Amino acid sequence: MTLAELDTHLARILTAIEAKVGKDYLLAITGDHGMPSEPAQPADRHLANTVVDLLHDRFDRDKRALVTYYEPENAQIFIDMDRLAVLKVSLKEIATYLEAQPFVFAAFSQDEVKQPLVPK
């Protein structure tokens, strides 16, 4: 079951890559929890609180309660769904906003991750 889920998620990642850069790319996958090298400039670094602040500045400037938790280790952002409803914002709008940032490659909601893969 775990390998099937891994295959599904990998297919989604490959689809996202191909949508952004086409089919001419090299993808290296490792089994280690390695870390990327230090960014060339401190301004190129986007820490967890920077991402949370960015979302609050855009969607919840007054209360700053939209993001309840952010796990930078695996880039999971937890959203208060009740607050989301009050703000009349969708998860898709948040994902679209994140993907517009130069340091974010792709964003997926929990619902998108759970969708069955549609064969091409």
Running DSSP on this structure, what letter comes out for residue 74? T
Instruction: Give the integer Cα–Cα distance in Å for 43 and 116.
Output: 38
**pLDDT at residue 20 is higher than 70:** yes
Stretch among 13-17, 97-101, 102-106, 109-113 having the lowest mean pLDDT: 109-113
Which residue matches tokens 């967890």?
48
The 10s digit of each residue's pLDDT in 35-91 is 555 555 556 666 778 889 999 999 999 999 999 998 887 788 999 999 999 999 999
Facing residues of 78 across strands?
A: 69
Mind giving me the DSSP string for 28-72?
---SS---PPPPSSGGG---HHHHHHHHHHHH-TTT--SEEEEET
What does the domain layout of the chain look like in residue ranges?
2-31+44-114
% the chain with pLDDT above 70: 80
Phi/psi of residue 108, each to 5°? -130, 135
